[in-house]
């Protein structure tokens, strides 16, 4: 079984950290790798960045399909390009927000999300709504640290405090980390604040692995059938059947 984690931004250091978190939970029979998007933004902190990360994700999935990959994780908490990736891949594709929110709903009465910049709260809220998790999500909070600064010495402390504050303010039973770049802080924060902390990278890896084990893949028909071949133009010419 081959699972590929796609880092939708172009920062390789982040891909490496994500890969470690995914490897740590993958089963013995699972071959897992992580790839960095070949085009797009260095980090994703706006709707603009997110939309422009999608071509890189789709290119990675197209390559994966040629290599026989069985399932994919999209490792950005905005779950960019999820629907289009599902059309393209034969096997399951899971976003880390999707996996994290579902996972958190199994653990208690309600959870809080802690994300990076406050301008990303709107997207997190939209995903909560999309996945039907409104009743479980008690609050979404920003720690105002940009994605690529999460590795700074001070960041760990600030994120941990934001998580503790969120649990208190919302009366929550669990924390969902709202950025793939926080994946390696997960066990540290859990130890500090004493409630379950969910990292979507690890959660999504296991969700994909489970779906493959269950033999489940999208229906050949319906909303997520393969897109019809079609001419594409300009910079994106290679995404069409004419390339």
Q: What is the dihedral of CA 90, 234, 54, 35, to 10 degrees?
A: 70
Name the residue nearer to a copy of itself (CB basis): 152 or 241. Answer: 241
> CA dist 140 to 10, 125, 169, 241, Å?
26, 7, 11, 41
Dihedrals φ, ψ of 33, to 5°? -140, 165
Name the residue nearer to a copy of itself (CB basis): 86 or 156. Answer: 86
Q: What does the alpha-carbon distance between residue 120 and residue 143 come to, in Å, rounded to a whole number?
A: 11
Report in angstroms how near the CB of residue 36 gets to a copy of itself at its nearest.
9
Name the residue nearer to a copy of itself (CB basis): 13 or 108. Answer: 108
Report in angstroms how near the CB of residue 122 gets to a copy of itself at its nearest.
4
Identify the DSSP state of 111.
E
Count interface residues toward a copy of itself (CB under 8 A): 97
Q: Which stretch binds a copy of itself (CB under 8 A): 156-164, 177-185, 199-207?
A: 199-207
For residue 188, state whether it binds a copy of itself (rule: CB under 8 A).
no
Q: Which stretch binds a copy of itself (CB under 8 A): 149-157, 158-166, 176-184, 204-212?
A: 204-212
Identify the DSSP state of 115.
E
Q: What does the alpha-carbon distance between residue 210 and residue 42 come to, in Å, rounded to a whole number?
A: 31
For the segment 23-42, give every residue that binds a copy of itself (CB under 8 A). Answer: 25, 27-29, 37-42
How many other C-beta atoms are found inside a 10 Å radius of the C-beta of residue 188?
13
Name the residue nearer to a copy of itself (CB basis): 156 or 218. Answer: 218
Report in angstroms how near the CB of residue 181 gets to a copy of itself at its nearest.
15
Contact track, a copy of itself, 104-143, x by CB under 8 A: -xxxxx--------xx-xxx-xx--xxxxxxxx-------
Residues 6+ apart with CB under 8 A from 186: 21, 177, 197, 198, 199, 202
For residue 194, state whether it binds a copy of itself (rule: CB under 8 A).
yes
Residues 6+ apart with CB under 8 A from 87: 224, 225, 226, 227
Member of 15, 43, 115, 116 binding a copy of itself (CB under 8 A) = 43
Q: Which stretch binds a copy of itself (CB under 8 A): 152-160, 177-185, 192-200?
A: 192-200
Identify the DSSP state of 228.
P
Token pair of 159 as six digits: 């994120």
| Helix, strand, or coil (residue 241) | coil
Report in angstroms how near the CB of residue 195 gets to a copy of itself at its nearest.
4
Name the residue nearer to a copy of itself (CB basis): 77 or 131. Answer: 131
């Amino acid at each position: 079984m081959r699972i590929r984690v796609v880092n939708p931004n172009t920062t390789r250091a982040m891909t490496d950290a994500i890969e470690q978190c995914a490897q740590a939970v993958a089963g013995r029979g699972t071959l897992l790798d992580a790839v960095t998007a070949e085009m797009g933004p260095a980090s994703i902190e706006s709707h603009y960045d997110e939309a422009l990360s999608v071509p890189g994700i789709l290119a990675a999935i197209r390559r994966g399909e040629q290599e026989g990959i069985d399932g994919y994780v999209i490792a950005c908490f905005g779950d960019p390009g999820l629907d289009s990736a599902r059309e393209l891949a034969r096997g399951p594709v899971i976003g880390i927000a999707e996996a994290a929110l579902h996972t958190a709903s199994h653990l208690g009465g309600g959870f809080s999300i802690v994300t990076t910049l406050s301008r990303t709260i709107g997207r997190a809220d939209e995903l909560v709504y999309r996945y039907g998790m409104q009743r479980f999500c008690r609050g979404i909070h920003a720690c105002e640290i940009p994605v690529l600064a999460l590795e700074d010495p001070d960041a760990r402390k600030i994120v941990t405090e934001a998580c503790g504050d969120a649990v208190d303010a919302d009366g929550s039973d669990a924390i969902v980390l709202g950025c793939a770049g926080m994946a390696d802080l997960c066990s540290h924060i859990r130890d500090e604040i004493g409630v379950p902390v969910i990292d979507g990278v690890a959660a999504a890896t296991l969700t994909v692995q489970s779906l493959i084990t269950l033999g489940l893949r999208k229906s050949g028909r319906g909303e997520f059938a393969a897109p019809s071949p079609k001419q594409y133009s300009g910079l994106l010419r290679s995404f069409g059947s004419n390339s």
